[in-house]
A and B are shown apart, each in its own frame.
Chain A
Amino acid sequence: MVNLPSRAVAGAKHHGSYEWLLQRFTAAIMAIYTLGMISLLMIRQPDGYSEWVAITDNNTWRFGTLLTLLSLFVHAWQGVLDILNDYIKPLALRKALKFATALALVCYAVWSVFILWKL
């Protein structure tokens, strides 16, 4: 039995296929939400705060928006990782920027919950 090497980057812990698929899955969620929101805004043409509240003050909107925002943060994480891996060559700086990105995105996720439920 000839064994092909299982990977070339020795010591790397990551998969590739899951990330690739997740990037597309989160994109699809955001695309559906975006098209839905744009149609909703075009139909309802909210003019003023009370009409905006009528659209947003329900749990369907809240959970849909939260799902989309979380998809956005996961999607952004993969995208920023891709950019940092390509252009930032000093290892310490790259690791620091990855950490800062992860921290920011986690904060955004918590903040999103606070925003949507007016906590």
Chain B
Amino acid sequence: MRFSIYRFNPDVDLEPYMQDYEVALQPEDRMLLDALLRIKTMDDTLSMRKSCREGVCGSDAMNINGKNGLACVTKLSSLSEPVVVRPMPGLPVVRDLVVDMTQFFENYNSVKPYLVNHDPVPETERLQSPEQRAKLDGLYECILCGACTTSCPSFWWNPDKFVGPAGLLQAYRFMADSRDQVLDERLDNLEDPFRLYKCHNIMNCVDVCPKGLSPAKAISKIKELKMKGLKSGGFKAPASATPLAGKQISIKRVP
């Protein structure tokens, strides 16, 4: 099977380039990741991230024949040759298919992706009714692989200003949670021309999500909550410009 793979080694290369491989696959090689690992036995300089190899850890997202997806759950039989494998678009390339996810996680952190509840901690769990719990379906399953966010042109052009589909899906996941108590603050957190409203509904995110989730729906729900906020007293003007939330927990870049 023929492959054309994006190569870049910052210690050696000034520019990335495409390298062709012709591989004799073994019967057990079913998914793209199997083929990439087979190539790696021929050329051990090829770099990629991988871990669980079953679509749960979200490590091996890449651009496959132009579409983002997880190599470990992409069937080789579904791909036309030569299979063009490139790193996820819009993030700095560390090496070959490995991208620097720092910006992605900073945007994720900036929506405070955790429950905020001021009530005293109960002896047992904070309970939810089955209906309340059902509201989190289609939101909590995200594995943060980055396929959606890096397929979004709005993220490509404004990676540091637009939160991106993955981060906004998580923002809504906590807005929708009956145990969370800071809905208004969460909505204010997105009151900005870029953070939420750079989404123009092209739905590339839904197109590529390996878990079949819909950030587009979550984003439109957030916009709906925003409009409800308008009816009941208007959009809150931020009291003052505070530093980026992600800054407090940002991952430092290795120089």
Contacts and interface: CB of A to CB of B under 8 A. Distances in A.
Contacts, number: 99
A15 B158 contact: no
Interface in A1-27: 1-12, 14-21
Contacts of A16: 190-197
B191 A8 contact: no
Given A1-B118, A12-B192, A86 B157 contact: yes
Interface residues of A, number: 23
B189 interface: yes
A20 B189 CA distance: 16
A6 B242 CA distance: 7
Contacts of A2: 116, 118, 182
A11 B195 CA distance: 14
Given A1-B118, A2-B182, A17-B226, A7 B241 contact: yes
B92 interface: no
Contacts of B191: 6-7, 15-17
A8 B243 CA distance: 6
Contacts of B192: 7-9, 12, 14-16
A114 interface: no
Given A2-B118, A6-B188, A87-B157, A14 B242 contact: no
Contacts of A34: none
Nearest to A85: B158
A7 B235 contact: no
B14 interface: no
Interface of A: 1-12, 14-21, 85-87
5 contacts: A7-B188, A7-B242, A8-B189, A15-B191, A21-B227
